[in-house]
Amino acid sequence: MWNPDVYRQFQAERDRPFFDLTAQLPDFQPAFVTDLGCGTAHQTATLAERWPEAQVTGVDSSAEMLAQAAKLRNLRLVQADFSRWLPDTPQDLLLSNAALQWVPGHPALVPRLAAQVAPGGVFAFQVPGNFTAPSHLLLAELRSEPRWSKLLGAPERGPQSLSSLDPLEYADLLTPLGFRVDAWETTYLHLLHGPDAVLNWVRGTALRPVLARLSPGDAAEFEAEYGLRLRVAYPQGPSGTAFPFRRVFVVARRTA
């Protein structure tokens, strides 16, 4: 279950890569636009503003996220798993921000999604590239300790199964499929404020599926121990709590 309120806590930081991605889109007039893993769709809505004539669709599997999205106008919303979803018509812009990585082995999905892009159309996405950051490693370390591994079992969609490729690897996937690729990475230095800022951040994403598998009492204990380790790894400094966050971007235009 996604919690839109918790996820939105760091909205400015989470929105910035979406705008950095869309700033690199070509000057074109897409008629069919889809945002995969649109969440609350407030970003998707900016695509509808940019191309008012386009049919803009948001796809997400979470009923909670889509309930928020339904408050916005001019969007077509589809509740679906994007690893199986197929559009009715080829898309001029197929976009995804911070969502593809939730499908284990998502690189295998890339050619299938790319095939849904119309000639001259664009496949643009951003995925986190921070899976070896202390926030992820500490979570993996804690959950593999005997106290927790017997309750949590092997990670299915948990952080250990999350990963992403380097920019060149995405380019090498898409170029042979007839795309001209612009791929890059950015490490944002988020300076977070308040106590347990990194814990609060991770509560909205990678920690969520782990806690969902524990009883409320165990979840509170797990979170307290994880929070303790995060405070050591990410100390508060004079500028706040520094939380470097690497992200990988791809803007690929179909030329063939």
Ligand X SMILES: C[S@@+](CC[C@H](N)C(=O)[O-])C[C@H]1O[C@@H](n2cnc3c(N)ncnc32)[C@H](O)[C@@H]1O
Residues that bind ligand X (CB under 6 A): 2, 14, 18, 37-39, 43, 59-62, 65, 81-83, 97-99, 102-103, 205
Cβ contacts of 82 within 8 Å, gap of 6 or more:
36, 37, 59, 61, 96, 99, 100, 103, 109, 113
Give me the residues paired with residue 245 across strands. Answer: 188
Q: How is residue 228 written in tokens?
A: 């303790």
Compute the least distance from the CB of residue 256 to ligand X, in Å.
Answer: 28
Compute the least distance from the CB of residue 53 to ligand X, in Å.
Answer: 23
User: Which H or E run contains 95?
Assistant: strand 91-97
Q: Shortest Cβ contact with ligand X: which residue? A: 39
- The nearer residue to ligand X, 126 or 148, going by C-beta atoms, is 126
- The nearer residue to ligand X, 121 or 204, going by C-beta atoms, is 204
- The nearer residue to ligand X, 61 or 241, going by C-beta atoms, is 61
Q: How is residue 78 written in tokens?
A: 């589809």
Compute the least distance from the CB of residue 168 to ligand X, in Å.
Answer: 24
- The nearer residue to ligand X, 79 or 236, going by C-beta atoms, is 79
Backbone angles phi, psi at 35, to 5 degrees: -110, 110
Measured CA to CA, the distance from residue 2 to residue 41 in angstroms comes to: 14
Compute the least distance from the CB of residue 39 to ligand X, in Å.
Answer: 3
